[in-house]
Every structure is written in structure tokens, then in C-alpha cells.
Amino acid sequence: MTEGGAPGALSDVAPKLQAVVCVVLNAAQTECVLFGNDGIAPKLPEDAVILSCATVAPDFAHNMEARCAALGVHYLDSPISGGALKASQGRLSIMASGTPTAFATALPILDSLAETVFELGDKAGAGSAMKATNQLLAGVHIAAMAEAITFGITQGIAPDTFLDVISKCAGTSWMLENRAPHIVSGDYTPRSSVNIWPKDLGIVTEMAAASGFAAPITQTALAQFQSAADLGLGLEDDAAVAKVYAHRAGLTLPEENT
């Protein structure tokens, strides 16, 4: 049993809950958890709150908020950032939007999960819009890091040297410092998988198209992650996008424990 968990049938437990935190991969899974065949939302008591943490499109968040409101349940659009390590430390950043009552009801949960809570508006959607903007940058930074580290190899720069130098220069980023060590060590154990990025950057490109906004750099990064997934790397750490560049250029990347 997971630490902090308790046994019991959902139909028995849900009516006693004041808050539910839904951390899944995508919109389809979110809708399944909340409103599927055994969805939790209709089983919750009135005035309970759902914190929905997946990266989804703002329109989806609007829809979930409306469906929850029809049940007398509050919905907080609360996508998260920080990864597994910060989650385990209760130090996530949460980009949240929802009614003042949803925020007030969720406050004890937010305090336990997050180092920083950004209150971005009084209705769902704004949190998801901000998360999409963050994911644009994060995905582009990972793809750019992969391109740079493999380019460096073609110029005789060893990956560990690349990391040591660039992490102390203007070209660095949080994503570079977090993901490049995975390539240096040859360890692609998924902390955040390749498969997340076709979804998240796909959401960004769809939002951009709906707004009449061109996002060519996002589209380029998306193509690299899609290529990685097509190579069978979807369940590896997202730093494995470097293997796309290495594959095309005939390069050899470091292997684990070498």
C-alpha cells in the first residue's frame, strides 16, 4: 500500500473526501478518472474540491470545471511543474486557476504539495494556458540541449566537458543542467519520458493554431520528440531525444557505467 493511502472501495471512500488530487498523463485519463464508468466526481460530497494536475488544453479545463460545478464540486485547474524529485519533497510549482472557493478549499493540499502556488485567475483555463507556455519552453530547451551536446561531439567536445563548461556559461538552462547529466551518464531511466512531449507540444501547437499564432520553433522541437518516439524511445527519459541526433549523424553517445 502506498504511504499515506488507505484501503476501501471508491464508492465507500469518495463520499467522505474533501479533496481529490488527480495526477495523470493527459486529458483522456483525467476525464476517465473524474467522469468515467467509475468516475470519482459524482461520488464526492458537495463542496469537495478536485485539483487537476495534468497538462491539458484550457478548453478542456473549462469543460471539467463546468461539469464539476453541475455536481456542486469545485474544480481547481492546477497543473504542476518540478518533476518527481520536487514532488517527493513537496516543492512543486503549481500554476492554478479557479474560483476563490476552490482555492480556499484546496489550500491545505496546495500547502503540502507546493513550494510556490501561482494564482492565475478565478476560473479554470488560465493555469493550463500558463502550463502550456512553460512546456513550450521546457520542450524546446530539452531539444536544443540535445542538439547542442551532439553538435559538440562532432566538434570533438566530450559530453562531460560540454556539461561542465556550458552549465557555467550563458547558454545554460535549468533543463540543460537537469537533463544533460542523463546523457553524460548514459542513463535514460525515465524521470520524464519522451512520450510526454508529443502530447504537450502538440497541445501548444493546437492552441497556437487556434489563435492564429505561428510557433515554428515549437514545431521543430515537436518533430524531434516524435522522431524519438518513432525510433522506439518513447518510454525512455526525454533526454533520449539526443539519440535522434546521434542516429542521424552516426555518433556514439556515452553508455551507462562507462
Residue 87 banded pLDDT, cuts 50, 70, 90: confident
Burial class of residue 220 in the structure, from the number of CB atoms within 10 Å of its CB (0-12 exposed, 13-18 middle, 19+ buried): middle
pLDDT of amino acid 84: 76
Domains of the chain (ranges, CATH numbers): 10-124 (3.40.50.720), 129-249 (1.10.1040.10)
The answer to whether residue 190 scores a pLDDT higher than 50 is: yes
The answer to whether residue 19 scores a pLDDT higher than 80 is: yes
Residue 1 banded pLDDT, cuts 50, 70, 90: very low
Of the residues 16, 43, 123, 131, only one is catalytic, namely 131
Q: What is the mean pLDDT of the chain?
A: 95
pLDDT of amino acid 89: 82
Rounded Cα–Cα distance for residues 242 and 172 (Å): 16
CA distances to 58, 90, 194 from 210, rounded to whole Å, are 12, 35, 25
pLDDT of amino acid 175: 96
Per the CB < 8 A criterion, the answer to whether 106 and 19 are in contact is yes
**In this predicted model, what pLDDT tens digit does every residue of 100-115 receive, in sequence order?**
999 999 999 999 999 9
The answer to whether residue 2 scores a pLDDT higher than 80 is: no
Total-model pTM: 0.91
Per the CB < 8 A criterion, the answer to whether 110 and 96 are in contact is yes
131 is catalytic: yes
